Amino acid sequence: MNYTTQMDAAKQGIITKEMEIVAKKEDKLPEEIRALVADGKVAIPANINHKSLSPEGVGQGLKTKINVNLGISKDCPECDKELDKVRVALEMKAEAIMDLSNYGKTEGMRRRIVEMSTAMLGTVPIYDAVGFYDKELKDITAEEFLAVVEKHGQDGVDFITIHAGLNREAVESVKRNRRLTHIVSRGGSLLFAWMELNHKENPFFEHYDELLDICAKYDMTISLGDALRPGSINDSTDANQIRELITLGELTKRAWEKNVQIIIEGPGHMSLDEIKANMILQKKLCYGAPFYVLGPLVTDIAPGYDHITAAIGGAIAATYGADFLCYVTPAEHLRLPTLDDMKEGIIATKIAAHAADIAKGIKGARDWDNKMSQARADLDWKAMFDLSIDPEKAIRYRAESKPHDDESCTMCGKMCSMRTMKKILNGEDLNMLRD
């Protein structure tokens, strides 16, 4: 049986080995996964050249996945430090890693990640173009941008962020509908600048069919980037954001016609009361394609704590339709994240994803919480640590403040409600004052 992409196979009624793996991970029937992939409701980013990949499904009815961003920059060019982050991210069971390197010759690092990573790998090819060609942005041609995409496909990248929705119409909208924070998407701002400097159409929009052919060749999923995502709560759900979203929906249908899988990227910064409506709107305008969000960050005043503001928004977004959460670290808006920043970002995002899975009724999601609750009722500290989302921190906190009574903690001591109820229900002496 011959097929070019996961979607091509699904439409032919073929269940691929990737679909079987995803079905097992999600506790679903392979046929359920196949049908969802055929309809574009689930994407399985799996480049044919990524041999170490353990495939994941992103989309309707599946567990909420998380992505970890990393990569070198001109100020922090050390590849080894970023590869250490890859190893830790894999240990912490992140489902996706995005290499956002934007300095120098990044091919070597990208290939090393592909070789070592069981998680799906994403990139933003436009970040790589300046270093790849050693040319100023203005001087890169449309053909050269597409050649970088092809290179990432050859290297084994599973999904690529492409800001194809930022066309000339959107550029004029940005000029008419001025924002407080303008364009905060790095890739979006680069394309905006290229279009204005060259007085030309976005090459990824103009040559979209050629882009699709490249992606189909390697079964590379397109993550349609939100170039006009809001960078402040003031700018959310404005004309610019919605106009681009409508275009992304049109590009989604064109991609599916060529059997290229699509993920849609979303906001951004957004107040709590707007999140649900945005999730519904995206799913409607983009025909139920998987939705990938950065945050949303629900307030703009917390530099150093943006992993928390993003987790709050992410939990709500995933409850109402988002399928894929991009992590945010405490270093957001401040610096390149350290390894510890990355860990905090992963934990915060995993909490948000799990909270949403409970709310969405994902099969088995509550079981983890129920086991933890039982361990607490039993005062079984080992089980509590084993079940913790971050066992290392839980063990360290308890060790730093040891209680007189080993059953309880230093917060309540022998007045611990769990201890009291356990002893009384077991017919034991409560013994609160005596040793």
- 227 labeled part of a ligand binding site: yes
Number of alpha carbons in the 13 Å side-chain half-sphere of residue 34:
14
Whole-number Å distance between alpha carbons of 429 and 425: 10
Is 354 annotated to bind a ligand? Reply is no
**Angle of CA points 37, 125, 212, to nearest 5°:** 40
Q: Could you give the CA distance from residue 73 to residue 190 in angstroms, rounded to a whole number? A: 16
Residue 144 labeled ligand binder: no
229 marked as part of a ligand binding site: yes
Q: Is 133 annotated as a binding residue?
A: no
Residue 333 assigned ligand-binding role: yes
Give the span between the Cα atoms of 270 and 314, in whole angstroms: 11
User: Is 111 within any annotated ligand binding site?
Assistant: no
The DSSP code for 361 is T
Is 419 annotated for ligand binding? no
Per-residue tokens: 215 = 């992606």
Cis bond upstream, residue 267 (ω within 30)? no
Rama region for 33: left / alpha / beta (φ>0; ψ in -120 to 50; rest): alpha
Q: According to the annotation, is 76 in a ligand binding site?
A: no
Q: Is 388 assigned to a binding site?
A: no
DSSP 8-state code for residue 19: H
416 is in an annotated binding site: yes
99 is in an annotated binding site: no
Distance CA 212, CA 277 (A): 30
* Residue 163 is labelled as binding a ligand: yes
HEC assignment per residue over 141-201: CHHHHHHHHHHHHHHCCCEEEECCCCCHHHHHHHHHCCCCCCCCCHHHHHHHHHHHHHCCC
How many angstroms from the chain centroid is the CA of residue 237? 21
Asked if residue 412 belongs to a known ligand binding site, the reply is yes
CA distance 164 to 247: 9
Q: How far apart are CA 76 and CA 271, in angstroms?
A: 33
| Among 41, 62, 57, 58, residue whose Cα is nearest residue 287 | 41
Which positions make up the binding site for [4Fe-4S] cluster?
409, 412, 416
Binding-site sequence positions for substrate: 69, 98, 127, 163, 185-187, 226-229, 265, 292
Q: From the annotation, which residues make up the binding site?
A: 69, 98, 127, 163, 185-187, 226-229, 265, 269, 292, 333, 409, 412, 416
Residues comprising the binding site for Zn(2+)? 269, 333
